[in-house]
Amino acid sequence: MKKKNLLLIVPKIDQGGLERVCVRTARILEPYFHITVAIFDATDPAYDLTGLHVCDLHAPVMHSKAGKVFRVLQRALRLKKIKRAEKIDISYSFGPTANRANLASGGPGEIWCGLRSWIDLEKKKELQLVARKSDRLVCCSKMLAKLAGQACGTDRVEVLYNPYRIEELEEASLLPDDALPDWAGCEVLVTLGREDDVKCFWHLLKAFYLLHQKRPQTRFAIVGYGDFSAYKKLAADLGISDAVCFPGRKKNPFPWLKMADLYVAASVYEGFPNAMVEAMALGCPVISTNCMTGPAEILAEDFTKVLDAKETVEAEYGILLPPIEEEQVNLDPLVITAEERRMAKVAEGLLADREKLAHFGAAAKERAQVFTEEAYREKFLQIVRKK
């Protein structure tokens, strides 16, 4: 069969879940397509682009209203040239800004628009326009697909779970990292993510403060891109600076996940949290808020049964905490919420029960095997074959 020409469109490649999935998609599908990766701004790549056909559009973000409109048009014109020159059969964009440029550039070929997070559904009119103009809406979770289909009244919605190369994660986790702290004999909690209010790192720090009072041997690492100065100050105000580490962005974060006894997350919303699955692939138990969307679908066999749970749920593959209702940042060390007390109590109970901790570690590793590159490839090819 003649190979089709596939264009993958992504805003940046510096760090983040959708960027990682874009690069992995290119690697997985190389034997089956002629692939071009178009990046609005390819400076400072966090992922290996060696051997890929990459087109840097040199069109970074602009913040003024006029600048944003200009960038959409500029990106669309440059994408249109690529589509025509490469005779693109399918153009698949990752996230709202990439979707806008993909649609504005038009054909040739099918247009696939990727929805990566619950927040992608918030602008309903724009979402409905995207659904009308694209040939496929590609969602990274079933819940996201359900909500998008309902909002747009369309059945042209596909689910494509993020792909993971488990063996590669294991190998990468064993590579040296001089920044790793000497926390031998400690109980280590880790979370990954760029500095963003939706990640609710202040909740995690305050919960860790409570946990550390009960279990002084605990340590906490927040790994990801950002300044984190406000959170470093909060850690100092809470008196836990010596037990908390902020190593910054890591091109290879997997030694940090390998070190973890527990992966924790407190997001207000997600799409399909990559770092959570990667931690699970390395046998790390997970405690996560039951936010929209992703964690329940990853940690529970039947996520529909636990989506509306108002209490802590010990699901088959990890522990789900009730959603956080308010994402307002609160860096006051004297204000401790019931949600933070719950997080600390659940973490304390799990760390104290080594048998249960080992059970959830083994269950997490088993669950991660569902989200393989092979499954991703087969589902992608299945979507391509659809008429």
Tens of pLDDT, residue by residue over 94-150, are 999 999 999 999 988 999 999 998 888 888 999 999 999 999 999 999 999 999 999
What pLDDT does residue 310 have? 86
**32-44 average pLDDT score:** 96
88's tokens: 């693109």
Residues 6+ apart with CB under 8 A from 300: 306, 313, 315, 316, 317, 320
pLDDT for residue 344 is more than 80: yes
Where are the domains positioned within the chain?
Answer: 4-163+372-385, 166-368
pLDDT-derived band at 387 (thresholds 50, 70, 90) equals low
pLDDT for residue 276 is more than 70: yes
**363-375 average pLDDT score:** 95
- pTM to 2 decimal places: 0.86
240, 217 contact by CB (below 8 A):
no
Concatenated DSSP letters for 320-359?
EEPPPS-------TT---HHHHHHHHHHHHHHH-HHHHHH
Domains 4-163+372-385 and 166-368 agree in fold = yes
pLDDT for residue 347 is more than 70: yes
**287-294 average pLDDT score:** 91
Task: Write down the H helix ranges in the chain.
Answer: 17-29, 65-86, 96-105, 124-133, 142-152, 166-173, 201-214, 229-238, 254-259, 274-281, 295-299, 338-352, 354-368, 373-385
**297-302 average pLDDT score:** 95
Strand partners, 7: 36, 91
Residue 96, phi then psi, degrees to nearest 5: -55, -50
41, 11 contact by CB (below 8 A):
yes
Say yes or no: domain 166-368 is CATH 3.40.50.2000.
yes
pLDDT for residue 73 is more than 80: yes
Calculate the average pLDDT of the chain: 94
Say yes or no: domain 4-163+372-385 is CATH 3.40.50.300.
no
303, 318 contact by CB (below 8 A):
no
What pLDDT does residue 1 have? 60
